[in-house]
Structure 1
Amino acid sequence: MSSATSDRPVPPYVDATKPSIANVYDAFLSGSDNYEVDRGVVRSVLKTAPEAADLAVENRRFLIRACRYLAEHAGVTQFLDCGSGLPTAENTHTVVQRINPDSRVVYVDNDPLVLAHSRALLEQAESAVIVSEDIFEPETLLRNEVVRSRLDWDAPIALLHMGTLHHYNGEHVRTRQDIMRSYIDALPSGSYVAISHFLDPEDEYSTTARKMEDVFLRSMMGSGTFSTTAELNDLFNGLELIAPGLVRCVDWRPEDPQLKPLSVAQRCIAGGVARKP
């Protein structure tokens, strides 16, 4: 059955015949803001790795813990959240403003559904806003009037690239490291960079990681690259990683003990937070 008849009415700004990264992620989290084409991608991935939904879950948990660390322990009050995706229960501004109500958040995305939902959510918010830009074109994004005016570029900023860079396929004829270098060069001293990314663990779980990658790349979504730890370290461009460094997301400052053996997917997504001197 097509999404046009099996789902709620499709907004005119949404193409429900093509999967959206944000919608697929929402479907992995059992959300309601997705269509049959997005769920088709999820089903194809789950056939190869039934625990793949943990990729989305661990990414979200890492985002929350990293934001808490940055707001509470690092004292950051400004956040630039690139590729923010569809709003959920614990958004960046919700997490950090609970710790410091004066925190400011600029979300960036160019998915029409994300923009519409986020603008509705943030309509009454004075310290959080979303702008439409391509997160893989940092020079243009960083010139955006709202990005420039809502953040103080003489004070530390936390740059978030959570679950975004593995969806970059070289469309702009530059490497992911080049993209991150442009962001990092623009950040004020004392700023932080937080990244999560699909991981090839280079062990007995590598085969499953590459199978998941193949399914993502062959799906209509067409993106989802798994990278080694060395490749992910390069994205931080030599910044000082905060302990415990670049590790599996589940191992980054966990709030509760891990009582069950890790799933394959939990072993295949990594994250880290680093500081710019």
Structure 2
Amino acid sequence: MTHDTHGTPETHGPRIRIDTSRPHPARMYDYYLGGKDNYPVDAEAAERVLRGLPHGRGPALANRAFMHRAVRFLAEEAGVRQFLDIGTGIPTSPNLHEVAQRTAPAARVVYVDNDPIVLAHAQALLRSAPEGSTDYVQADARDPGAIIEAAARTLDLSRPVGLSLIALLHFLPDDAAHDTVGHLLAALAPGSHLVLSHTTADFDPDSTARALQVYRDRGVFLTVRSHAEISRFFTGLELVDPGLVPGARWRPDPAPAQPATAATDLFYAGIARKP
């Protein structure tokens, strides 16, 4: 499913229903960020996570801030003008295209998610600068072929792309995660960059295990990986300095809103270039 930047969303196939009987990670993430696009079932699950992980809002905010810094780096320093953002989540301004188009108004962005509540808010993702373009694709991260096919309608895949997998891969088991990353990178041109963040238990295993159990008890697959396991996603790529590090410590702003303390060191983040 795609949406034209200036048009009305066109729906194909059966009508998509939002299931409010069980929590959804995108809506729980919205709750952590202080958003309003969540339901009581999401708030209840998120509050249970926060009881076991009192600083749980910090990583969500730090993860969002990392995305902003990563996109600025790609647009300002790496010269990237095309972005493929998979696992977009519920729109929270500034969205990726807003950050990119501040530097490069002609930047083209394709958002991908499989959550119907993200689809319901997709128009917020399509407010592109006149010189640029945005598109939204309703697809599953486990189907990289369909994602690439749809993205190619907006992006020129013969030129570099910034592939954003922010807080996504920990929702996929090992085989699916590596298959998705491998297929996506194979389809992108040299000079493309992989941006990812990923939950880890390296810093606080007990609290992280409690949070993990809340998700699993509610039918949400979520896994954590070590630094070495996350590093595997960058195999064959050239890591950008400072490498794969705790998210708040990846090129922090001079006066960060969230200090780079242990409270936010619950995920790793990094960027690497395809040679």
Q: TM-score, normalised by structure 2?
A: 0.88
* Partner in structure 2 of residue 94 of structure 1: 98
CA distance in 2, matches of 1:240, 1:154: 19
CA distance in 2, matches of 1:228, 1:200: 7
CA distance in 1, matches of 2:134, 2:193: 19
Instruction: Give the 4+ runs in structure 1 shifted more than 3 A.
Output: 123-126, 257-261
Contact 2:248–2:260 (8 Å) recurs in 1: no
* Partner in structure 2 of residue 276 of structure 1: 274
Deviation digits for residues 93-144 of structure 1, max 9, x if unmatched? Answer: 0000001100000000111110121135526766111111111211221122
Paired AA for residue 210 in structure 1: A
Contact 2:126–2:134 (8 Å) recurs in 1: yes
Counterparts of 1:1-277 in structure 2, within 5 Å, are 13-122=17-126, 127-144=133-150, 147-169=151-173, 174-201=175-202, 205-218=204-217, 220-256=218-254, 262-264=261-263, 266-277=264-275
Paired AA for residue 227 in structure 1: R
Change (3 A) 1:256 1:184: same
Change (3 A) 1:137 1:18: same
How well do the aligned residues superpose, as a CA RMSD in angstroms? 2.0
CA distance in 2, matches of 1:224, 1:123: 32
Change (3 A) 1:124 1:190: closer
CA distance in 1, matches of 2:139, 2:16: 20
Count of aligned residue pairs for this structure pair? 258
Change (3 A) 1:261 1:119: closer
SS at match of 1:149: coil
CA distance in 1, matches of 2:267, 2:214: 16
Which ranges of structure 2 fall in alignment gaps of 5 or more residues?
A: 1-14
CA distance in 2, matches of 1:199, 1:62: 16
CA distance in 1, matches of 2:60, 2:173: 20
User: Percent identity of the aligned residues?
Assistant: 38
Paired AA for residue 262 in structure 1: T
Contact 2:200–2:227 (8 Å) recurs in 1: yes
Which ranges of structure 1 fall in alignment gaps of 5 or more residues?
A: 1-10
Displacement after TM superposition at 1:215 (Å): 2.5
Paired AA for residue 214 in structure 1: Q
Paired AA for residue 134 in structure 1: D
CA distance in 2, matches of 1:124, 1:239: 30
SS at match of 2:153: helix
